[in-house]
């Protein structure tokens, strides 16, 4: 792959790569650094790029390798959560509680599952492509995604309940707490 082709490819994927990195690392500066490192690596290896690979697989593999290693350095989940909370406090205006809740819920999801969720929802990648990016089986991809989503669902459950109550849903007022707790797992629609 020559340089103009690589530049075109990088331009095409930059915002998606950045979105994945930002959602995984929780900070704009770290996300930019991760994308830069991944692109530097791919740029250096562009001569070895084989067209039998999808270009997206190649770029996402490089990016996820950088992001996973960055997450390794953050020793405790507490640090990452504090960072996400700080970022949320500085960058998100008040009135976006759902986003902060979701970030907190995602911080509880194990790294591998969080990575797959980010790839899946930023670019809508198929299970097969996720499996190729991380070098795992399609079944593992499915089980990791399901596990990640169930953790998010379980973490958001109580919050959803309060919001629905606050919205003034009369049926869910006091006296029916048992039903309400069960109802939190139902789809919102």
Partner 1 sequence: MMDWIDDALAAHFDTALAPAGLVQRALRHARRRQVTLDRLIDRFHIEATARGVRRIGFGRRGRAKAEPGGAHAERARQELTEYLAGRRTFFSVPVDLDLPDFQSRVLAEASRIPFGDVTSYAAIAARIGHPRAARAVGNALGANPVPIIVPCHRVVRGDGTWGHYAFGPKLKTALLSLERSVPTLIGCTSTRIVCRRGCRHEQRIGEDRRVAFASVADARSVGYRPCQVCRPRDG
Residues that bind partner 1 (CB under 8 A): 7, 10-11, 14-15, 17-20, 22-23, 28, 31-32, 35-37, 39-40, 43-45, 48, 50, 53, 61, 64-66, 68-69, 71-73, 75, 98-99, 102-103, 106, 110-112, 117-118, 121-122, 134-137, 140, 144, 149, 152-153, 156, 187-189
Question: For the residues of 83-101, what is the DSSP string, one character each?
Answer: HHHHHHHHHSPTT-HHHHH
Nearer to partner 1, 137 or 177 (CB): 137
Smallest gap, in angstroms, from Cβ of residue 175 to partner 1?
26
Smallest gap, in angstroms, from Cβ of residue 172 to partner 1?
16
Nearer to partner 1, 147 or 174 (CB): 147
Smallest gap, in angstroms, from Cβ of residue 109 to partner 1?
11
**Residues 145 and 118 sit within 8 Å (Cβ to Cβ):** no
What is the longest distance spanned by two Cα atoms in the chain? 69
Q: Minimal CA–CA distance to 125: which of 137, 135, 116?
A: 116
CB contact set of 103 (below 8 Å; sequence gap of 6+): 26, 84, 85, 88
Smallest gap, in angstroms, from Cβ of residue 86 to partner 1?
17
CA distance to 6, 138, 175, per residue, from 31 (Å): 20, 27, 47
Give me the helix-helix angle, 77-91 and 97-107, nearest 10°: 170
Nearer to partner 1, 154 or 181 (CB): 154
Nearer to partner 1, 83 or 112 (CB): 112
Nearer to partner 1, 3 or 174 (CB): 3
What whole-number distance in Å separates Cα of residue 183 and Cα of residue 27?
35
């Amino acid at each position: 792959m020559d340089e103009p082709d690589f530049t075109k490819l990088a331009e095409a994927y930059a915002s998606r790569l950045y979105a994945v990195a930002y959602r995984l690392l929780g900070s704009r500066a770290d996300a930019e650094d991760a994308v830069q490192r991944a692109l530097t690596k791919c740029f250096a290896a562009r001569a070895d790029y084989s067209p039998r690979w999808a270009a997206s697989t190649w770029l996402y593999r490089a990016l996820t390798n950088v992001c996973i290693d960055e997450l390794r350095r953050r020793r405790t989940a507490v640090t990452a959560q504090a960072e996400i909370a700080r970022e949320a406090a500085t960058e998100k205006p008040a009135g976006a509680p759902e986003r902060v809740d979701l970030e907190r819920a995602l911080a509880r999801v194990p790294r591998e599952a969080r990575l797959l969720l980010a790839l899946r929802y930023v670019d809508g990648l198929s299970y097969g492509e996720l499996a190729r990016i991380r070098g795992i089986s399609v079944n593992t991809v499915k089980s990791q995604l399901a596990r990640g989503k169930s953790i998010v669902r379980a973490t958001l459950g109580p919050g959803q309940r309060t919001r629905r109550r606050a919205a003034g849903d009369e049926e869910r007022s006091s006296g029916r707490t048992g039903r309400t707790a069960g109802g939190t797992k139902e789809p919102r629609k």
